[in-house]
Amino acid sequence: MASAQILDLTIFGREPIAVLGYGKSGAASAATLARSGCVVRIWDDVRERREAAQSAGFTLADFSQADLADYSMILLSPGIPARGPNIHPIVARARAEGVDIVCDIDLLFRACPQATYIGITGTNGKSTTTSLLGHILDNCDRPFAVGGNIGTPALDLPPLPADGIYVLEISSYQLELLPTTAFDIAILLNISPDHLDHHDGMAGYIEAKRRIFAHQPRQSTAIIGVDTEPSRAIFNDLTGRKMDRIWPISGMSGEAAQGGIYVENGRLTDATLTPVTPVLPLDGITALTGNHNWENAAAAYGAAIALDLPAAKIAGGLRSYPGLAHRQELIATIDGVQFINDSKATNIDAATRALACYDNIYWIAGGRAKDQQCDMTAITALSQRLRHAYLIGEASGLFANCLDGAIETSQCGDLDHALAGAVDAAKRDPSGNAVVLLSPAAASFDQFDNFEQRGDAFRSAVMRLKTPAARGQNANTTATRTYA
């Protein structure tokens, strides 16, 4: 297990460090740097966050007016545009003046270079893969810590010894800010359109994801999903690189992942050595339902064997994995209806993956659309699985137009009305095996602070349905009203 010690960042000295952005990771980074005696200055464009930094004892500095040469580096919070036409003006000026621009992941690597680093990225599945690998390691005799873009910010993680392992979820935003980090094991799961405004289009987004392999030495491992065309192209590009291990993975195609790890007929299969070895069946593991989760399992298994973890421990970890909140999370089964919370599905591709796992679906979708083009072709291809779509938030009208003629829809306004309508219809489903699935295919920021808050609201509403009074009532008849 990882120790409870605090990172020592005294290597960064007494020269002032600029922290731009005082969100979750910025606040954690500033606090750890300050505890190590570093001189920290804070700026955030949001007044409430500046006030929070001052309340925590930090000194503010408006970097737009300051001489950036006074700072040894700028520590940038994820989400602040670091490249492209939308680049933050402070970042643009820092780049022009040659100031180092980094994120907390890079500082962790500089502070503890002796540890093993596993970086996990991809449009979808990175949180599940990261937590799954952490779950496997939890039963093995190696010190480790899990964090990054999931859970614990990098600089809140404990220091690890030479045999320690950092398992880090890495976003595309963070990958743009890693000038020195070299991952011993780098995993790219898949690529589909996401965050395109931030990266100035698909080409910029793909290039950001590719950066997870940028500094890997020859003795490292690259694990790459080949189930999406952009990630498959990166795998093909890397195959000529001089590295010990470049393994393809697939959640559905043994042919595509020859020489790597794949799932065939529901069975995880290891083809990294001869002979090809069946590992274990995945189709009975509830927390790893669907081809996309099989891809996640293949990636976690690949990292585990690259670490030389015991085979029995790996298999046991896969079988006992409990899953993550907001990722196809079964909240309850009430009167034969399953209620699934997949609030983390903030893009169309992620929702498509969830919809492919169930039948007789009463789908709750919507929020703030990430792509106004709204290509729902893959979802309409699953129309036989869907009974009705209950649409919420800003994207209601857009989604209704995209689904028109393929799937019946109701524009419900908010989550409570959508759930009431879905429950009413699901109870009357003739199959007796209906699913109410929250898989929004959109961001949450129109009605919620984040996808976690949206998922928690769904969970609370479902749990209220379990009360005798709620089960005896008919659904609110306003549930499927159309909102202009």
User: CATH 3.40.1190.10 in the chain, residues?
Assistant: 105-320
Residue 475 has pLDDT above 60, yes or no: no
pLDDT of residue 468: 63
C-alpha closest to that of 479 among 398, 416, 409, 385: 416
Q: Are strands 116-121 and 185-188 parallel, antiparallel or unpaired?
A: parallel
**pLDDT greater than 90 at residue 241:** no
Query: Mean of the per-residue pLDDT values for the chain?
Result: 91
pLDDT, mean of residues 47-74: 95
Q: Which two tokens stand for residue 358?
A: 């169930």
Total residue count of the chain as it appears in this document: 484
| 255 pLDDT above the threshold of 80 | no
Q: Is there a contact between 192 and 347 (Cβ–Cβ < 8 Å)?
A: yes
Q: What is the mean pLDDT of residues 111-133?
A: 96
All CATH 3.40.50.720 domain ranges in the chain, comma separated: 13-102
Q: Do 123 and 194 form a contact (C-beta atoms < 8 A)? A: yes
What pLDDT, on the 0 to 100 scale, is given for residue 370? 85
Map tokens 């009974």 to a residue: 387
Query: Number of C-alpha atoms within 13 angstroms, CB side, residue 151?
Result: 16
Residue range(s) in the chain whose domain bears CATH number 3.90.190.20: 329-472
CA distance 52 to 21: 11
The pLDDT tens digits for 215-235 are: 999 999 999 999 999 999 999
Checking if the pLDDT of 162 tops 90, the result is yes
Do 259 and 223 meet the contact criterion of CB atoms below 8 Å apart? no
- Comparing CA positions, the residue from 303, 1, 345, 315 lying closest to residue 146 is 1
CATH architecture of 13-102: 3-Layer(aba) Sandwich (3.40)
Give the long-range contacts of residues 280-283, CB within 8 A, separation 24 or more.
280/315, 280/318, 280/319, 282/318
Q: Distances from the Cα of 410 to the Cαs of 7, 51, 307, 337, 479, in angstroms?
A: 52, 42, 50, 20, 9
The pLDDT assigned to 277 comes to: 94
pLDDT bin (cut points 50, 70, 90) of residue 471 is low
Structural contact between residues 454 and 415, judged by C-beta atoms closer than 8 angstroms: yes
Q: Which amino acid is at 357?
A: C
Residue 150 has pLDDT above 70, yes or no: yes
The 10s digit of each residue's pLDDT in 422-456 is 999 999 999 999 999 999 999 999 999 999 999 99
* Range in 331-340, 393-402, 468-477 with the lowest mean pLDDT: 468-477
352 in Cβ contact with 192 (< 8 Å): no
Q: Mind listing the pLDDT tens digit for each residue in 370-421? A: 877 789 999 999 999 999 999 999 999 999 999 988 999 999 999 999 999 9
CA–CA separation, 10 vs 117, rounded Å? 21
pLDDT at 6 over 80: yes
Q: Torsion-angle region of residue 151: left (phi > 0), alpha (psi -120 to 50) or beta?
A: left
Could you tell me the maximum CA-CA distance found in the chain, to the nearest angstrom? 70
Instruction: State how far the Cα of 411 lies from the Cα of 23, in Å rounded to an integer.
Output: 34
Domain 105-320 bears CATH identifier 3.40.50.880:
no
**Is it the case that residue 361 has pLDDT exceeding 70?**
yes
pLDDT at site 480: 35
Give the pLDDT mean for 203-216.
92
Q: Look at residue 5 in the predicted model and tell me its pLDDT.
A: 80
Q: What is the pLDDT of residue 482?
A: 33
CATH topology of domain 329-472: Protein-Tyrosine Phosphatase; Chain A (3.90.190)
CB atoms under 10 Å from CB of 176, counted, come to 22
pLDDT in tens, 296-310: 999 999 999 999 999
